[in-house]
Amino acid sequence: MTRRSITKRAAVVTATALVAVGTVTAGVSMAGQDHAPKGKKATKAQIASLFDTWNAALQTRDSDKVADLYAKNAVLLPTVSNQVRTDRAQIVDYFDHFLANKPVGTKVKTIVNVLDSNSAIDTGVYRFALTDHDTGEKRMVEARYTYTYEKIGGKWLIVNHHSSAMPEK
């Protein structure tokens, strides 16, 4: 190989490497943009207050209004049912039965993680005052909870809700 062909080959390799690095860098930049916030991040207080909206929907005793707060493909792992609810009809069915107990929720402990401008997690402990629909007897149930929210169409919706009674109670 001549000195000129070596120099030319080195120039081609260098140019190819620069193009490759530029492509990777652009790809990383573009990937970052896909996950970058499209709007202002919600505050922890704003996410925590979504529970108040959900609790107010419970007070209407209308299971459709409660289900409206869940995304189309939401998953509900409810406190007082062994059935995992994975669509609106199943979520409505759960709340048809749960709302008969006239639940009133109160948060005991809240931990909020705002992941980005379109997703957040609220987890902690809440307590429900329940009224037996047959006897009128009131009881308190304390449970752990996790709400995973996504902003869909400009509205915060529940995409995953897990609730389980405290094991020590």
Per-residue pLDDT of 44-54, as tens digits, reads 999 999 999 99
d(CA 54, CA 56): 5
CB 148 within 8 A of CB 121: yes
| Poorest-pLDDT segment among 22-26, 73-77, 135-139 | 22-26
* Residue 15 pLDDT grade (very low, low, confident, very high; cuts 50, 70, 90): very low
pLDDT at 151: 97
- pLDDT tens digit string along 140-153? 999 999 999 999 99
pLDDT at 169: 57
pLDDT at 34: 32
* Residue 38 pLDDT grade (very low, low, confident, very high; cuts 50, 70, 90): low
d(CA 11, CA 15): 6
Q: Specify the fold of 44-165.
A: Nuclear Transport Factor 2; Chain: A, (3.10.450)
Asked whether the predicted pLDDT for residue 107 surpasses 70, the reply is: yes
